[in-house]
Amino acid sequence: MAPPPEENAPPAKTARKRTSGRAAAPTGAPKPARARPRSAVPAAEAQRPDRRADILESAEILFAERGYAAVSVRDIAARAGVPLALVGYYFGRKPELFATVFEHRKVNLDERIARIREVGAKGPGRGRVEEIVRAWAEPVVRLHGTASGDSFSLLVARTAWDPGPEATAIIERFYDPLVDAFLEAMGAALPGTERGRLLWAYEYAVGALLMYVADKRIERLSGGTATAGDPAVFEPFVRFVSAGIPAAVEAGDPAGLEGREGHKTK
């Protein structure tokens, strides 16, 4: 007796679904989040170069007025009149924007370093001191006289006195090379002078320069007859600093630098 037809039939093949080799996510499991772009901004906003300039100018002014720690990215966006996301689109985070403000002005700093080195290459001579001081200070006073230069002068002064890590990083990155160029040139002009004395002389000089261009108290004390950074008094400033540097480095060792055990200067 023949078996029923279904018993003679070959076993049915089970269809297999192709898989990617990954375990299927359980039903109801959240899908992995997609990577978000740096900052999503309308295309029309991103294509306006004036927006970038507005942000940079607003950042410089606010950082100068309040200091790095007291300014938020939202403050900068509000002053520039741009969407908050646009700041991140152009500059990233706040520390990167802060650095870009100084990078934007670096051509002025590069000019100072180049001019100082040019004078230093001339060799020794007391007359070189005034040339170095002029090369070091004149671009600062010239920039201060521009439309936005006064805010940058104030920003440099505030950043130099700010003990925060962001400000310290800016000074090290942008201004330590200037100090090195100044000390090298002064060492060539006044051979045999101990570097520690030259470093103190630089500190005295930079204090005078920052007060000259950034301290507006002179306007109140003078009853409005004097203004901070006035180019008309640049020559007296140069003579003042140029006379002070040799006097400072030749006046014994008031700071005790030469005899201090383990003393190092940068």
pLDDT at 190 over 80: yes
- Asked if 218 contacts 142 with a C-beta cutoff of 8 angstroms, the reply is no
How confident is residue 18, by pLDDT bands cut at 50, 70 and 90? very low
Burial 7-33 (b: 16+ CB within 10 A, else e): eeeeeeeeeeeeeeeeeeeeeeeeeee
The pLDDT of residue 41: 58
Half-sphere exposure of 260 (CA within 13 A, CB side): 12
pLDDT score of 260: 46
Residue from 149, 179, 150, 175 nearest 162 by CA: 175
- Mean pLDDT of the region 5-29: 47
CATH number (2.40.10.10, 2.160.10.10, 1.10.357.10, 3.10.20.30) of 105-250 reads 1.10.357.10
Say which residue, 33 or 247, is predicted with more confidence: 247
Is residue 51 within 8 Å of residue 45, measured between CB atoms? yes
**pLDDT of 44 strictly over 60:** no
User: For the domain 43-101, what is the CATH code?
Assistant: 1.10.10.60
What is the tens place of the pLDDT at every residue in 154-163? Answer: 999 999 999 9
The pLDDT of residue 37 is above 50: no
Report field, pTM of the whole predicted structure over 0.85: no
pLDDT of residue 5: 46
3-state secondary structure of 252: coil
Side chain identity at residue 210, one-letter code: L
For residue 8, is pLDDT > 60?
A: no
**What is the mean predicted confidence (pLDDT) over 212-224?**
95
pLDDT interval class at 20 (50, 70, 90): very low
d(CA 137, CA 229): 11
Is the separation of the CB atoms in 244 and 206 below 8 Å?
no
Per-domain boundaries in the chain: 43-101, 105-250
- Confidence at 149, pLDDT banded by 50, 70, 90: confident
To the nearest whole percent, how much of the chain has pLDDT over 70?
Answer: 76
What pLDDT, on a 0 to 100 scale, did the predictor assign at position 262? Answer: 38
**pLDDT higher than 70, residue 16:** no
Structure-token match 């002070």, residue found: 244
Burial annotation 178-206 (CB, 10 A radius, 16+ → b, else e): bbebbbbbbbbbbeebeebbbbbbbeebb
- Rounded mean pLDDT, 111-120: 98
User: Which letter does DSSP use for residue 2 in this model?
Assistant: P
Q: Supply 178's token pair.
A: 């200037």
